[in-house]
Structure 1
Amino acid sequence: MTPQDMENRIVRYGDLIPCKTAFIDAHTPGSDQKENFTIIGGGVSESPDQHVHISIPHGFNIGAAGQPPKCRNSLHSHRTAEVFFVLKGRWRFFWGRWGTAGEVTLEEGDIINIPTGIFRGFENIGTDYGMIMAVLGGDDAGGGVIWAPQVIEDAADHGLVLGANGKLYDSLKGATLPEGVAPMQVLTQDELGAFPEPTTAEVVPGHVARYLDLVALADRAPAKVIGEHGILRDKPGFEVDFITRSSATDKVHSHDRPSVLMPMRGHWRVSFDGGGVTLAPGDTMSVPENLAHSAVPSMTGEASMYHVVATDDPAGATWAG
C-alpha cells in the first residue's frame, strides 16, 4: 500500500466538511450554530447536505460535533452506543426527559460512553470553539435519532419539520412534506415512561473516564478504555484503547477488520509496508484490515491517541438501569 493510498483513508482536521443543517434543531435558537461532521460511515444526520468523508463500513461510525460557546445539542436518544471524547474545549453533558436528571462536565481528553435509551444533550461551556469526537455503534448507527417531544415542537416553530421517513424539510426554503409522508410523531406519555432517568451518581462512575487517569493507566501498556475488560466495562460493538508515548511500540501488528486511529495530543507516525504517514490531533485514520502497521510519536512532548476497532458483540443497549 502506498502513502497516497493511506492518505485517502485519512480525514485531516483541517479538511473536515461540516453540515450546519444536520438535525431538526438546526434553526432553534441556542442550537443553530452547530456543525456536524460525518467522518466514517453514514452517521445519523437527517439532512441530504451531510458530507460523508469515508463510507467504508467499519462496524461503527465516527463523527464529530463542533460548537461555539453556549451552543447546545438538543435532547435525543440512540438505540446503540454513543461515545464522545473532548478534542477541544470544555463540555457539559446532561440527560433525562428534560435534561435535569444528571450531568457531568468533561475537559479535553476525557471520554464518556453515554448509556443508550436515555435522552441526552451536550453544550460547549468553554470560551472558544469546541470539538468533540464521536463513536456510534453499528454501521447504521442504530437507525437514527429519537428526539424529546419538545425538540420537535420547538423546531416546527422555526420552520423545520422531520418526516416519518427520517428526513428534514425546511419550510423557510419552501420545502413541504412529500405526498404520503407524515410528520414524525412525538412520543406518547407511555413511550416516554420507558426512558430511564438515572442520576449523576448512577451514570458517571461506569461511563466516564478522565484523561489524566488514562495517561497514568497507559504508562506501560495501552489502556483498554471501553470493552468487556475495559475501564468502562461495556460491549457496545466496538472497543476503545488509549495509547501514550509510554505505551506506544514500533512493533507491527494488524487487525482482521478496519480500525481507526484518532490522535488526542502530539504527532504520530504510522508506518506500514510501503511507507508511512503522520497524524496530528483531530485527524482520523482508517487502517485497512490485515495491514501490518505500527504507530509511535514522531516528535517530543506529550502524545496520546484513541484507537477504535469493532467487535462481534451486537451494537445494542448499554443501560441496564
Structure 2
Amino acid sequence: MTLSPEEMEARIVRYGDLKPCRSAFIDAHTPGSNQKENFTIVGGGVSESSDQHVHISDTPGFNIGAAGQPPKCLNSLHTHSTAEVFFVLSGRWRFFWGRYGDAGQVVLEEGDIINIPTGIFRGFENIGTDYGMIMAVLGGDDAGGGVVWAPQVIENAKEHGLVLGENGKLYDTKAGQSLPEGVQPMPLLTESELARYPELPASEVVPHYVARYWDLMALASNSPAKVIGENALLRDKPGFEVELLTRGSVPAQPASCDQHEVLMVMRGHWKLNWEGGSRVLAPGDTCAIPPQLAYAIEPAMSGEASLYRVRSTDDPAGPTWRG
C-alpha cells in the first residue's frame, strides 16, 4: 500500500489546526463548566451539538478527541458504556468519580494516562495555572452511543437554558430553541438505576487504571511500553491497545500492521517515513495510519521524545469495569 504526501497530510490533524466547540455538551452554559472547549479529531465522538467540527470522520474502531480547559474549569459528571482513556498533553488535572464526584479522585500530570472504568460517573478539572489539554480515546465506532449525565447535571443545565432531548440533541432555550414536536426531554435516571453505578474508592481505581508518564518512559527505554491491552501494564481489552514509544523503542525498519493505528505525539518532533513521502509530527498532532501501510517513525530533533500509539483490536469496545 502507498499514500501520496497529500493523502497522508489529510490523515494528520495538526494541533494548531484543531477547531474547538464550546457548545458540545449539556453543561456548556453552567457556571464553572462554560469555558471548556471540546475537539473531535477522529470519528464523530459523542458531542451533543451540531456545531461540533469533525476533523476526520472515518472511525478505526475507536474515536479520538480532546478537551481544553482554563484553570478551575470543570467537565461535569457523566458516564459511558465503552472505554474512555485520557492522557494529559498539557497542564495538571484532577479526575474524580462517583454519583456526586466524591467517591474518589486522582491528580494527573503531563503524560500520565487514565483508563476510566466504565459504569461509573466521572468528571475532570484543570487544576493547573494555565490553559490545559487532555487527549481522549473512546471505544467503539459510535463511542457507546452518547453520554449519560448525572441527574443534577441535567437539572443545573436547564436552569441555564440548555435542554437535552431524548434524541441526544441539545436545545438552547435562551437562543429561542425548543424541543421539536414529539421529542421529550432526556429522562433523569431513577434511584434504582443510579444504584447500579458503583462508588469505587481510589484504592480500587488508581492502581489498576492509572499509569504515570515517567514510569512508562523507563519501561519504553528499549521497546514500546504496553500501556493498555490484554498483557499490558493496565490489563484491559477495551477494543484498542495503547503503547508509549520513545526514541529508544522505535524500530529502525519500516513495518506495517493489519489493524488501524493512530499516532498521538506527546513530546518532541517525529519524522514519519513511508513509501511515498515523509512528514514531521509535532506535540499534539494526531496521525491516522491505515492498515497495511509500511512506515517508520524517528525523532526529528534531540531531547525528550515520546508518543502514544493506539491500535484497534477485535475485542468489544467495553466495558472496562466488571465489578
Q: Could you tell me the TM-score, scaled by structure 1's length?
A: 0.99
What is the CA deviation profile of residues 167-187 of structure 1, one whole-angstrom value per residue up to 9, with x for unaligned ones?
A: 000001100000000000100
2:309 pairs with 1:291 = no
CA separation in 2, counterparts of 1:302 and 1:4? 29
Match of 1:26, SS? helix
What is the CA deviation profile of residues 120-150 of structure 1, one whole-angstrom value per residue up to 9, with x for unaligned ones?
A: 0000000000000000000000010000000
CA separation in 1, counterparts of 2:311 and 2:212? 21
Instruction: Supply the AA of the counterpart residue of 2:213.
Output: Y
CA separation in 1, counterparts of 2:179 and 2:172? 9
Aligned to 1:22: 24
Match of 2:204, SS? helix
2:29 pairs with 1:40 = no
CA separation in 1, counterparts of 2:260 and 2:241? 12
TM superposition shift of 1:250: 2.1
Task: Select the residue among 171, 185, 188 that pairs with 1:186.
Answer: 188
What are the ranges of 5 or more consecutive residues in structure 2 without an aligned counterpart? none
State the 4+ residue runs in structure 1 displaced beyond 4 angstroms: none
Aligned to 1:137: 139
TM superposition shift of 1:316: 1.9
2:71 pairs with 1:69 = yes
TM superposition shift of 1:258: 2.0
Aligned to 2:93: 91
Aligned to 1:170: 172
CA separation in 1, counterparts of 2:72 and 2:253? 44
Aligned to 1:106: 108
Match of 1:204, SS? helix
TM superposition shift of 1:77: 0.3
Aligned to 2:213: 211
CA separation in 2, counterparts of 1:2 and 1:147? 43
CA separation in 2, counterparts of 1:136 and 1:156? 27
CA separation in 2, counterparts of 1:75 and 1:235? 24
TM superposition shift of 1:50: 0.4
2:276 pairs with 1:274 = yes
CA separation in 1, counterparts of 2:108 and 2:259? 31
TM superposition shift of 1:297: 0.4
CA separation in 2, counterparts of 1:271 and 1:250? 11
TM superposition shift of 1:289: 1.3
Q: Percent identity?
A: 71
Aligned to 2:162: 160
Aligned to 1:4: 6
Aligned to 2:264: 262
Instruction: Supply the AA of the counterpart residue of 2:197.
Output: F
Instruction: Supply the AA of the counterpart residue of 2:24.
Output: A
CA separation in 2, counterparts of 1:107 and 1:226? 18
What are the ranges of 5 or more consecutive residues in structure 1 without an aligned counterpart? none
Match of 1:142, SS? helix
2:83 pairs with 1:81 = yes
Q: Could you tell me the TM-score, scaled by structure 2's length?
A: 0.99
TM superposition shift of 1:249: 2.1
CA separation in 1, counterparts of 2:277 and 2:13? 18
What is the CA deviation profile of residues 245-273 of structure 1, one whole-angstrom value per residue up to 9, with x for unaligned ones?
A: 11122211111132100010000001000
Aligned to 1:200: 202
Instruction: Supply the AA of the counterpart residue of 1:33.
Output: Q
What is the CA deviation profile of residues 28-80 of structure 1, one whole-angstrom value per residue up to 9, with x for unaligned ones?
A: 00000010000000100000000000011200000000000000100000000
TM superposition shift of 1:14: 0.3
What is the CA deviation profile of residues 65-103 of structure 1, one whole-angstrom value per residue up to 9, with x for unaligned ones?
A: 000000010000000000000000000000000000000
CA separation in 2, counterparts of 1:301 and 1:57? 33
Task: Select the residue among 221, 229, 252 that pairs with 2:231.
Answer: 229
Task: Select the residue among 251, 254, 266 that pairs with 2:253.
Answer: 251
Match of 1:320, SS? coil
